[in-house]
Amino acid sequence: MTPQPENLRPLWIGTYPEAGAGTPAGLGEGIWRVDLDPATGALSGARLVVETPAPSFLVAHPTAPVLYAVDEEQDGAVTLFDVVDDDLRPRVTVSSGGADPCHLLLDDEARTLLVANYSAGTLGVLPLDADGGFSAEVLAAGGPAQVLGHTGAGPHPERQEAPHAHFVAVAPGGHHVLVVDLGTDEVRRYSRDLESGLLTEDGVAVSLPPGTGPRHLAFAVDGSRAYVVGELDVTVHVLAWDEPTARGELVQTLPATTSEDEGTRLPAHVVLDGNRLLVGVRGPDVVSTFTVDDDGLLRPDGEHVLPGGWPRHHTVVDGWTVVAQQTGAGLVVLDADGAQVGSALVPAPACVVPAVL
């Protein structure tokens, strides 16, 4: 990769089709790149690097020049791109193991890529080679070495008619993989074979109140707490986490936003940044902030109003919060006080991932 100026941090941006999620893909959307100035928070140089269908979530390999992207369509897929200088070159595309893949995770050893397939409710397991490529088994099959499904439903008639895997995490201690299931109000648990990366079903780590619609989660650095966003009940749930058993116990529930608008209110992504928890909420179009106390419980600390709409994903880079606003104003950068310090016009951004230099 071509060395970047010291004062710039390149970011990869995954996008939806410009007309939005669920609309025909492959009509020009793709993966963008934009540069962040860590001194000021300004964004510059936004450019479309490669066209690829519905790359709504990305993950970068930590050591190899490789980027992975979902294709969030009915025939779900994952594409591996080689990073060559500032360019992306598709190497291979394989099945994701289900419809509408929406989240990717590299395990702690970067030996297995895990993909959550939302509409299918499945977890796809894609072992990797040492250079970040898909394993011979995956290439021969054209898809995952394992596809792990689930059963169940929740009370919401339209969103919880079946399992909907929305997020994947490795539990503290590294012995379990967790799947946040919006459709069944559960965090599913799988035991990991640390040699092969393959998984074995191991029950449910936590059952949340009916109608929660859990979407994403974040763990405290010490692993003692998990913070789960409830998309359907518009909440943040705090779990006391027991590492040896990989189980959570609900200890606190707070509203994800102070907005009482009876219209759409849909919390999305959650990030833990030091003692701050940041939750994007679509509808009110805010980033809600919470202070994490010494006991791991939360105190509401206000909301940052965004200039655009539908904050689907955000990440903190060098102290700046970079928000992907799926509709409206593209990317926006906020300082710690919520002031806008940078922006970039990227169509329908859905994911922000720092590039590995």
- Which pLDDT value is given to residue 27? 87
Please give the average per-residue pLDDT across 44-61, as a whole number: 98
Average pLDDT, the chain: 96
Does pLDDT of 226 surpass 80? yes
CA–CA separation, 20 vs 341, rounded Å? 26
Locate 265 and state its tokens.
């209110």
pTM: 0.96
pLDDT at 3: 46
In the chain the first and final C-alpha atoms are separated, in Å, by 7
- pLDDT value for 1: 45
Q: Locate the domains of the chain by residue range.
A: 156-305
Instruction: Reply yes or no on whether the pLDDT at 95 is more than 50.
Output: yes
**Contact between residue 327 and residue 20 where contact means Cβ atoms under 8 Å apart:** yes
Q: What are residue 128's phi and psi, to 5 degrees?
A: -120, 160
Stretch 224-252: mean pLDDT, rounded? 98
- The 10s digit of each residue's pLDDT in 267-305 is 999 999 999 999 999 999 999 999 999 999 999 999 999
Confidence of residue 2 (pLDDT cuts 50, 70, 90): very low
Is the confidence at residue 4, as pLDDT, over 70?
A: no
pLDDT over threshold 70, residue 5: no
Beta bridge partners of 180: 167, 187
The pLDDT assigned to 6 comes to 66
Domain 156-305, CATH among 3.40.50.300, 2.130.10.10, 1.20.1340.10, 3.20.20.10: 2.130.10.10
**Mean pLDDT of all residues in 336-351:** 96
